[in-house]
Amino acid sequence: MKKSKDNVYTDEPLGDVRIIDDFLPMPEELVFKEDNVKVTLGLSKRSVEFFKQEAKKHHTQYQKMIRRLLDLYATHHQ
């Protein structure tokens, strides 16, 4: 028999809190199509399998997920 893991919230201080800017795009920003450049990139088998599994769950292509991840990373660090 599993024990229930109920969260118990208290009025304790949180300590040092740091607020970060929201860098995720608005949904309407995800619709446009950008020019793509073909590259050859070696990825670990583990990474590719992860993206393939996630893409299958979300009914999309794993290459699109990887491309979007890289775009978000690049935009955030510009």
Better pLDDT: 14 or 63? 63
25, 69 Cβ separation under 8 angstroms: no
- Calculate the dihedral angle through the C-alpha atoms of 54, 58, 62, 63, rounding to the nearest 10 degrees: -140
In the predicted model, is pLDDT for residue 6 greater than 60? yes
Give the mean pLDDT of 6-29. Answer: 81
Average pLDDT, the chain: 85
Q: Is residue 58 part of a domain?
A: yes
33 domain residue, yes or no? no
Confidence of residue 32 (pLDDT cuts 50, 70, 90): low
Sign of CA dihedral 64, 43, 48, 40: positive
Separation CA 4–CA 20 (nearest Å): 33
Q: What's the length of the chain?
A: 78
Instruction: Give the number of domains in the chain.
Output: 1
Q: Establish if 70 belongs to a structural domain.
A: yes
Q: What is the enclosing helix (H) or strand (E) of 65?
A: helix 62-76
Q: Is the model's pLDDT at 52 over the cut of 70?
A: yes
pTM value surpassing 0.85: no
Write out the residue range of the structural domain in which residue 75 sits: 43-78
